Amino acid sequence: MNPDRLFDSLREQVKGLAPSNMDISSIEFEGPIVAIYVRNYDEFSGNVDVAKNMAMSVRRRVDIRPDPSTLEDPDKVEKKIRSMIPDSAEVTDINFQPDTGQAFVEAINPGAINDQEILSALKKESGWNVKVMRSPPIPSKTISDVRGYLRYSKDERSAMLKKVARNLVRPVIEGEQWVRVTTMGGFRQVGRSASLLTTRNSKILIDCGLDPGSDATPYFAIPEANPITDIDAVVITHAHLDHCGTLPALFKYGYEGPVYCTEPTRDLMALLQLDNIKLAYGEAKKNLYDAKDVRKEILHTIPLKYGSTTDIAPDVRLTFHNAGHILGSAIAHFHVGEGLHNIAFTGDTKYEKTWLFNPANTKFPRLETLVIESTYGGHNDYQPSRHDASEQLGEYIKEACTHGGKILIPVFAVGRSQEVMLVIEELERTEAIPPLPVYLDGMIWEATAIHTAYPEYLNTQLRTQIFQKNENPFLSPIFHRVETADMREEICHSPDPCIVLATGGMMSGGPVLEYFREWADDPRNWLLFVGYQSENSLGRTIQRGRTEITLPSKGKQITVEIKMNRETVDGFSGHSDRKQMMEYIRKLDPRPDKIIIGHGEDRKCTDLASSIYKKYNIQTVAPQNLETVRLK
Amino acid sequence: MNPDRLFDSLREQVKGLAPSNMDISSIEFEGPIVAIYVRNYDEFSGNVDVAKNMAMSVRRRVDIRPDPSTLEDPDKVEKKIRSMIPDSAEVTDINFQPDTGQAFVEAINPGAINDQEILSALKKESGWNVKVMRSPPIPSKTISDVRGYLRYSKDERSAMLKKVARNLVRPVIEGEQWVRVTTMGGFRQVGRSASLLTTRNSKILIDCGLDPGSDATPYFAIPEANPITDIDAVVITHAHLDHCGTLPALFKYGYEGPVYCTEPTRDLMALLQLDNIKLAYGEAKKNLYDAKDVRKEILHTIPLKYGSTTDIAPDVRLTFHNAGHILGSAIAHFHVGEGLHNIAFTGDTKYEKTWLFNPANTKFPRLETLVIESTYGGHNDYQPSRHDASEQLGEYIKEACTHGGKILIPVFAVGRSQEVMLVIEELERTEAIPPLPVYLDGMIWEATAIHTAYPEYLNTQLRTQIFQKNENPFLSPIFHRVETADMREEICHSPDPCIVLATGGMMSGGPVLEYFREWADDPRNWLLFVGYQSENSLGRTIQRGRTEITLPSKGKQITVEIKMNRETVDGFSGHSDRKQMMEYIRKLDPRPDKIIIGHGEDRKCTDLASSIYKKYNIQTVAPQNLETVRLK
């Protein structure tokens, strides 16, 4: 059946399910959502059950929206809406989208509006479908740009969503079905993560990373799929570049399909990708893509919340679950066919409650195969607790202070930065260390702003601290944003002790190198590693104790003598350590039949594979890149 | 560089290497061969070293041929040639191919001509490039048809070879290279064998079988390669239908590339495929292909001898080695890149000297990966020796004779038939059993004829017996060919004891069922299994002791009561047993790094994999169908 006829038949089905008094003007298919436009929207705006029940019956997500012709003029409505919202909500902005009848209210305290009664009243009185969004307590340029760009590009976005909807209803090939995973990158290695999930009917690309050490991309030249023309959907587990750093290149070369990820992942990945372009530009490296490709990626991204099940191919449903690794990081669970197979890709996970997040989800409705990371999967990869790590960090900072040294901490902008900020803020607040200024260089500030915009992704304790106790540790006056090259220069040459958190986390590039170049030869200074250094990164080389290194400086190569202290503070990792991994697998409910292991150096993958098999008698595979494992 | 310019540059290179007195009229590229046409052919016909030396330098096979315009009239030349050949050669036919300047002499004893001196003289005197071929001592309709068809289609063949040559010189993609094997059929199962060898530059399909039990074909719908448009070459290891039974379908749907196999494999597979069409027609089943598709396959087949290394893709060289399984069966050894990787596919192998063949080859110039069968790979799969098997067969026949029973032996036309014929001939000749007539039904006679046409593929002892002692056991008067349905009917209903060897070997169809239907309910009769019965075959069901079975008979289904004796004579298998397999691997020189195991039931594959790993510490994999294993 062709999609148009299928849509017509679905429309008939939806009409049949609608309450008799619903005055439907049209039914549209927008990506995975069925949008029902009604003339008497006010009669249904208060009743969420109507959409819910219809969704259950058609097995698709349903959204009831006001017919555009029934909508009052935005200017008038804005006043009405503002007057109905309690001041405590602190509304910062209201945006209207006439085509969908949605009015987005941005507020400092959306909780004050997100009350079913207020929301219903707002919808009823305004005629608009009012949605409430949090305006970040620290303003984020990224979020504002992303949302603005999406409003600006609504026609293209609408066309894109219609195309996705058409692809979702294409007829499936009957006969023998299968489910396979092809490893395109990031197996028996860390970096350039990419897996291809193929069924008889669909091809899904999970992650599309870049190797931070070598800039290697996934193996796109494989015969299994042309990533531009053959892919139904891309799913991104989290925003680190080793999971999404090549994605804009797909759009550059013509990919036009959807990208599924959480909303914070969308914003963080845009931030990191744009930063990566800037870094490459600064280093006169050829970049894989441009800012306009990142914009295309944003346009094609369909954000999903944890726990919301969505059709992403004719025979594949996706549900995201918390992975505990960074903001918005997700375990991607795929239900293939009608009960044919269930497979989850963990992406990177942390199975411990951290300063920022809850531990990774272990419970799935069904699960036959799990694809898991093994960054710290070696049998000796035990890490101290978060508490011990904080103490250790404090000790090193104190020691550095006694000699008037400066402290440089290479971090990823996203994840480790925010944890280390929380720890240092507490250490200074409790006077465990002297009151040093903490400089944040290279997107850390912006990444922090994004964290505060999505509190529903943070752990309960931090959320309470920020939003109920009004004690946002990120707003502490000890933190200073490095905003200009001059300011960086000044900090570099200032004689006063300070702490600098700077990207890149593996020292493969970024502002951290500016500080390192200046401070390396002074034995009073300290370089503190708090995150994973991959095998071929500059960070790993320096961490191992090299006394001299050649670095680019203003177009020339200079040799830097390294006399500064170098220490590693274990325990801040966003990755589960060996114990947590084994515990995570023990707690999985249900227990999978097969575990595929990737995202780890060669020996860690095979070591973890053999331990899981021995301890839990679960079949394990540690494929190389470019292999295909059949699941069903 | 485009192929034409590349060919021009190769021509220049060849001219540079040619002796100064060689009067070259043209240089053509025909498949993997460089054909040099010369006006003064007589000056070089006696000197094989010229071509050999040039081949070494250009790293291609070189053939020096007379320029067509210099050739004398075939009629005149035929007389001249016949007069120069000793009578002992017993020439049966001479065929001339003016375009290549080749004259094919068919003789009963080609050895009498295949003397370097006589050959040189023939070439020099006739002006033609004389090739000598054996005319089968038992005339084979298949061979005569195949050779006739190829002569008749010489223009198409020439165009095909030119196309293959162009594909061989296409430029390769530089950069990171890889070598992978994708399992398309016949892994963790017996039947529909097919593997895809993919490099960064090429795709080779190894075997293209049909499951004899279910008629299932390999997984052609995989995304890795479209078997019609994406394949550089098909390589067939041997002629059994579980290795080549789907091949003509590729041609039916448009494949136009080459097929590489040995000459006997080409002829035997045509025989078996045509027989399969006839069987399907008889059973009113829909066949996958037609006789014209088999003809296309023959047209596209480039036969290779054991030990001759040939370019089959820009980065892949193929060498066949004896596999010991059936006539022409080959281990296909692939050398990828310039020393990048070496992988051999054993196909089916026998590592024991049999009545017919030498044991499988164990020595390779290099070998990193071996793909091996595991039909009898289970830890209990030990088989009696050939000698014990012969004795056992004699015992059963004697016992059957004492009660006047008939003996029915289901056999594959190719391989087992000929061995059982040799054993029965010896048993009767030595009077170990009574002098019963032996009826051969369903292609066995024809297959035997093909065996006698390619003595260089038989073991030394049998070759001597046939060609030096003139004691061809296949010509014994005890053997009778069943040529008509009437004759079959007569044998079926005759009261006299006899032995019938009939196809198909697993009783999934073929004349064996005609005899079985008539003889099953008489407890004096015997059904003797001498070959492997696959899991879902009718043969296996009957072997297991079922007392009643429903069979098609003249368009109706009839129920047959089974009272006849059923016995299995182990030890005639063309497959290595467990001990021979383990011994084969021990003897491999060099020892491979990795062994991939297929062509066996599920448990046999995994059992053999784990034993090889434990005993020899070689990495083993027993993939399912639809998996991809990376080798380099």
Query: How buried is B544 (Cβ within 10 angstroms: 0-12 exposed, 13-18 middle, 19+ buried)?
Result: exposed
Contacts of B173 in chain A (CB under 8 A): 221
B243 is in an annotated binding site: yes
Paired residues of A72 in beta bridges:
none
- Collect all residues with Cβ–Cβ distance below 8 Å to A495 and sequence separation of at least 6: none
Cβ-defined contact of A627 to B180 (cutoff 8 Å): yes
Q: What is the pLDDT of residues A36-60, one digit of tens each?
A: 999 988 788 767 788 888 888 888 8
CA angle A593, A594, A600 (to 5 degrees): 150
Q: What is the pLDDT of residues B404-423, one digit of tens each?
A: 899 999 998 888 899 999 99
B242 is in an annotated binding site: yes
Check if the beta carbon of residue B329 is closer than 8 Å to that of residue B323: yes
Closest alpha carbon to A174 in A315, A298, A372: A315
CATH, domain range A3-69:
3.30.300.230
CA distance linking residue B263 with residue B423, whole number of Å? 26
Which pairs count as long-range contacts for B39-44, CB under 8 Å and 24+ apart, including other chains?
A: B39/B67, B39/B69, B39/B70, B41/B65, B41/B66, B41/B67, B41/B70, B41/B101, B41/B123, B41/B127, B41/B129, B42/B123, B42/B124, B42/B127, B44/B19
What pLDDT score was predicted for residue A136? 73
CA distance linking residue A229 with residue A254, whole number of Å? 8
Q: Is the pLDDT of residue A466 over 90?
A: no
| Interface test mutation site (partner B, options A630, A631, A632, max chain B beta carbons within 10 A) | A630
Pair of tokens at residue B582: 């383990």
Shortest Cα distance from B576 to chain A (angstroms)? 29
Pair of tokens at residue A284: 């006169």
Closest alpha carbon to A398 in A431, A441, A375: A431
Cβ-defined contact of A629 to B629 (cutoff 8 Å): no
Tell me which of A102-111, A275-284, A599-608, B585-594 is least confident.
Answer: A275-284
Cis peptide preceding A74, ω within 30 of 0: no
Strand B310-313 versus strand A628-630 pairing type = unpaired
Shortest Cα distance from B609 to chain A (angstroms)? 15
Contacts of A182 in chain B (CB under 8 A): 628
* Interchain CB contact of A555 with B (< 8 Å): no
* Interchain CB contact of B174 with A (< 8 Å): no
Cβ-defined contact of B223 to A230 (cutoff 8 Å): yes
CA distance linking residue A315 with residue A311, whole number of Å? 8
CA distance linking residue A18 with residue A26, whole number of Å? 12
Cβ-defined contact of A225 to B225 (cutoff 8 Å): no
Task: Please report which helix (H) or strand (E) contains residue A120, including its range.
Answer: helix A116-126
Say which DSSP state B21 is in: T
Q: Sign of torsion, CA A4 A6 A9 A13?
A: negative
Say which DSSP state A135 is in: P
Nearest to A624 among B200, B203, B630 (CB): B630
pLDDT band at B175 (very low <50, low <70, confident <90, very high): confident
Paired residues of A185 in beta bridges:
A194
What angle do the packed helices B602-616 and B578-587 form, to 10 degrees? Answer: 40
Check if the beta carbon of residue A49 is closer than 8 Å to that of residue A31: no
pLDDT band at B464 (very low <50, low <70, confident <90, very high): confident
Which pairs count as long-range contacts for B309-313, CB under 8 Å and 24+ apart, including other chains?
A: B309/B335, B310/B32, B310/B61, B310/B260, B311/B32, B311/B60, B311/B168, B312/B32, B312/B168, B312/B204, B312/B232, B312/B233, B312/B235, B312/B258, B312/B260, B313/B167, B313/B168, B313/B199, B313/B201, B313/B202, B313/B204, B313/B232, B313/B233
The CATH architecture assigned to B386-442+482-568 reads 3-Layer(aba) Sandwich (3.40)
Q: Which ipTM value was assigned to this complex?
A: 0.79
What pLDDT score was predicted for residue A253? 94
* Interchain CB contact of A229 with B (< 8 Å): no
Pair of tokens at residue B236: 């067939």
User: How many cross-chain Cβ pairs, A to B, lie less than 8 Å apart?
Assistant: 46
CA B420 to chain CA centroid, nearest Å: 19
Cβ-defined contact of B230 to A221 (cutoff 8 Å): no
The CATH architecture assigned to A76-135 reads 2-Layer Sandwich (3.30)
* Interchain CB contact of A230 with B (< 8 Å): yes
Cβ-defined contact of A203 to B223 (cutoff 8 Å): yes
B480 is in an annotated binding site: no
A238 is in an annotated binding site: yes
Contacts of A223 in chain B (CB under 8 A): 198, 203, 223-225, 230
Q: Is the pLDDT of residue B486 over 70?
A: yes
Q: Is the pLDDT of residue B135 over 80?
A: no
Q: Is the pLDDT of residue A235 over 90?
A: yes
Check if the beta carbon of residue B280 is closer than 8 Å to that of residue B287: yes
Cis peptide preceding A590, ω within 30 of 0: yes
Check if the beta carbon of residue B328 is closer than 8 Å to that of residue B261: yes
HEC letters along B134-149:
ECCCCCCHHHHHHHHH
CA distance linking residue A246 with residue A241, whole number of Å? 8
Q: What is the pLDDT of residues A412-450, one digit of tens each?
A: 888 889 999 999 999 999 999 999 999 999 889 999 999
Cβ-defined contact of B625 to A628 (cutoff 8 Å): no
Q: Tokens 């004719």 — which residue?
A: A314
Task: Please report which helix (H) or strand (E) contains residue B417, including its range.
Answer: helix B416-429
Cβ-defined contact of B627 to A627 (cutoff 8 Å): yes
Segment B342-355 shows an average pLDDT of: 96
Report the residue count for chain A: 632
Contacts of A626 in chain B (CB under 8 A): 178, 180, 628, 630
CA distance linking residue B266 with residue B295, whole number of Å? 11
CATH, domain range B156-173+182-380+575-630:
3.60.15.10
* Interchain CB contact of B624 with A (< 8 Å): yes
Cβ-defined contact of A221 to B198 (cutoff 8 Å): no
B238 is in an annotated binding site: yes
A333 is in an annotated binding site: no
Q: Is the pLDDT of residue B1 over 70?
A: no
Cβ-defined contact of A629 to B627 (cutoff 8 Å): yes
Segment B489-498 shows an average pLDDT of: 94
Cβ-defined contact of B224 to A224 (cutoff 8 Å): yes
- Pick one of 3.60.15.10, 3.40.50.720, 3.40.710.10, 3.40.1180.10 as the CATH number of A151-380+575-630: 3.60.15.10
Residue ranges matching CATH 3.30.300.20 in chain B: 84-135
Contacts of B628 in chain A (CB under 8 A): 182, 626-628
Closest alpha carbon to B104 in B75, B84, B134, B141: B134
Among chain A residues, CA nearest to B628? A628
Shortest Cα distance from B631 to chain A (angstroms)? 9
Query: How buried is A484 (Cβ within 10 angstroms: 0-12 exposed, 13-18 middle, 19+ buried)?
Result: exposed
Among chain B residues, CA nearest to A178? B626
Closest alpha carbon to A438 in A415, A413, A410, A408: A408
Residue ranges matching CATH 3.40.50.10890 in chain B: 386-442+482-568
CA B65 to chain CA centroid, nearest Å: 29
* Interchain CB contact of B625 with A (< 8 Å): yes
Q: Work out the mean pLDDT of chain A and round it to a whole number.
A: 92
Shortest Cα distance from A523 to chain B (angstroms)? 43
What pLDDT score was predicted for residue A537? 86
Segment A541-546 shows an average pLDDT of: 92
Q: What is the pLDDT of residues A156-179, one digit of tens each?
A: 999 999 999 999 988 888 888 999
Pair of tokens at residue B203: 């795709």
What pLDDT score was predicted for residue A1? 62
Cβ-defined contact of B180 to A221 (cutoff 8 Å): no
Q: What is the pLDDT of residues A372-409, one digit of tens each?
A: 999 999 999 999 988 899 999 999 999 999 988 999 99
CA distance linking residue B513 with residue A280, whole number of Å? 74
CATH, domain range A386-568:
3.40.50.10890
Task: Give the number of other Cβ atoms within 10 Å of residue B489's Cβ.
Answer: 12
Cα-Cα end-to-end distance for chain B:
27
pLDDT band at B504 (very low <50, low <70, confident <90, very high): confident
| Topology given in CATH for the domain delimited by B84-135 | GMP Synthetase; Chain A, domain 3 (3.30.300)
Closest alpha carbon to A71 in A94, A103, A106: A103
Pair of tokens at residue A416: 């480790």
Q: What is the pLDDT of residues B281-325, one digit of tens each?
A: 777 778 899 999 999 999 999 999 999 999 999 999 999 999 999
Shortest Cα distance from B628 to chain A (angstroms)? 4
Q: Tokens 């004779």 — which residue?
A: B401
What pLDDT score was predicted for residue A174? 87
Nearest to B630 among A200, A223, A626 (CB): A626
Task: Please report which helix (H) or strand (E) contains residue A106, including its range.
Answer: strand A102-107
What pLDDT score was predicted for residue A285? 77
Residue ranges matching CATH 3.60.15.10 in chain B: 156-173+182-380+575-630
Check if the beta carbon of residue A239 is closer than 8 Å to that of residue A328: yes
CA distance linking residue B321 with residue B329, whole number of Å? 8
Cβ-defined contact of A223 to B198 (cutoff 8 Å): yes
CA distance linking residue B370 with residue B594, whole number of Å? 6
Report the residue count for chain B: 632
CA distance linking residue B49 with residue B59, whole number of Å? 15
Residue ranges matching CATH 3.30.300.230 in chain B: 3-69
B240 is in an annotated binding site: yes
Residues 175-214 of A with CB under 8 A from B: 178, 180, 182, 198, 200, 203
Spell B273-310 as b/e; 16+ CB within 10 A means b.
Answer: bbbbbebbeeeeeebbbeeebbbbbbbbbbbbebeeeb
Q: Work out the mean pLDDT of chain B and round it to a whole number.
A: 92
Check if the beta carbon of residue A199 is closer than 8 Å to that of residue A342: no
CA distance linking residue A415 with residue A420, whole number of Å? 9
Q: Is the pLDDT of residue B146 over 90?
A: yes
What pLDDT score was predicted for residue A564? 96
Q: What is the pLDDT of residues B528-548, one digit of tens each?
A: 999 888 877 899 999 999 999
Pair of tokens at residue B275: 């027989």
Contacts of A178 in chain B (CB under 8 A): 219, 626
Segment B447-464 shows an average pLDDT of: 90
What pLDDT score was predicted for residue A203? 96
Contacts of A231 in chain B (CB under 8 A): none
| Interface test mutation site (partner A, options B174, B628, B631, max chain A beta carbons within 10 A) | B628
Q: What is the pLDDT of residues B582-609, one digit of tens each?
A: 999 999 999 999 999 999 999 999 999 9
Pair of tokens at residue B244: 């080549």
What pLDDT score was predicted for residue B439? 97
Cβ-defined contact of B627 to A180 (cutoff 8 Å): yes
* Interchain CB contact of B501 with A (< 8 Å): no
